[in-house]
């Protein structure tokens, strides 16, 4: 992000106010594969009685870009960040895929108005609602 966009836009994520807050209150913990940076509160505790943890996104703020290992740390599921331990992803964990809702690549089930194909016939377990 350029310096000018940080000065003149709040919607891009990181602003000068955010930079000052991080510099005063945050201690860097690590960075993930997407370039997101993670911080913990230098001193004191937050409203949950533990130091606050937060992420500064590389690009636009998209919570789905937080990998599972960092998500667990951000939400206090695990005590130690992935940088402090030897984290290995589970075989069922998949890499990030952007939410495609509203785009041409959005999921459309068979029979959807926007999809090709015909909706399967009801099997008799569906009863249409009729107002009284």
pLDDT at 10: 60
Domain ranges of the chain: 3-84
pTM greater than the 0.75 cutoff: no
pLDDT at 31: 92
Structure tokens at 109: 């089930």
Answer yes or no: is pLDDT of 12 > 70: no
Classify 90 in phi/psi space as left (phi over 0), alpha (psi -120 to 50) or beta: beta
pLDDT at 6: 64
Structure tokens at 101: 């809702």
Task: Look up tokens 């990181």; give the residue.
Answer: 14
Closest CA to 83 of 36, 130, 127, 120: 36
Structure tokens at 86: 């030897």
Read off the pLDDT of residues 81-129 as tens digits, 9 standing for 90 and up: 888 777 777 888 777 777 888 888 888 887 777 877 777 777 777 778 8
Q: What is the mean pLDDT of residues 5-12?
A: 63
What band does 11 get if pLDDT is binned at 50, 70 and 90? low
Task: Look up tokens 């964990």; give the residue.
Answer: 93
């Amino acid at each position: 992000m350029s310096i000018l966009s940080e000065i003149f836009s709040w919607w891009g994520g990181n602003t000068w106010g955010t930079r000052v807050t991080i510099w005063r209150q945050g201690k860097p913990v690590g960075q993930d594969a997407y370039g997101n940076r993670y911080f913990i509160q230098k001193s004191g505790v937050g409203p949950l009685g533990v130091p606050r943890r937060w992420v500064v996104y590389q690009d636009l703020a998209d919570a789905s870009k937080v990998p599972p290992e960092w998500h667990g740390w951000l939400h206090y599921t695990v005590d130690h960040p992935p940088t402090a331990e030897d984290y290995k992803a589970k075989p069922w964990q998949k890499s990030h895929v952007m939410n495609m809702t509203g785009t041409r690549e959005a999921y459309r089930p068979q029979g959807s108005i926007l999809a090709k194909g015909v909706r399967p016939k009801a099997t008799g377990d569906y009863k249409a609602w009729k107002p009284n």
